[in-house]
Amino acid sequence: MTLVTFIGLVAACLTTVAFTPQVVKAWRSRSTRDISLGMYLVLATGIIMWLIYGLMIGDVPLILANAVTLVFVSIILYCKIRHG
């Protein structure tokens, strides 16, 4: 593994794990009142675009980070839409 790939994987893990507290809080409390639906829709669109880009260039850190982050953001969006 190259240093560049290692740095990419560490950065991907950190930025993806950053969503964990929000996902846990939204899931447990069923409250997403203070979360902006518009912001999360734009974020989800950006993550989808990054995932497509990562797939197109075959970049493993981009693919893994954005696939997992998309799952987390989707959970938050589901809670937002379902529970307001």
- Give the distance, in angstroms, between the CA of residue 27 and the centroid of all CA atoms in the same chain: 15
What fold characterizes domain 3-83?
Monooxygenase (1.20.1280)
Please say if the pLDDT value at position 62 is more than 80.
yes
Domain ranges for the chain:
3-83
Average pLDDT score over the chain: 91
Instruction: Give the model's pLDDT for residue 8.
Output: 86
Calculate mean pLDDT across residues 55-74: 93
pLDDT digits (tens, 9 = 90+) for 5-39: 889 889 988 998 998 998 899 889 988 888 899 99
pTM exceeding 0.75 = yes
Q: What is the DSSP string of the chain?
A: --HHHHHHHHHHHHHHHTTHHHHHHHHHH---TTS-HHHHHHHHHHHHHHHHHHHHHT-HHHHHHHHHHHHHHHHHHHHHHHH-
Q: Tell which wins on pLDDT, 44 or 5.
A: 44
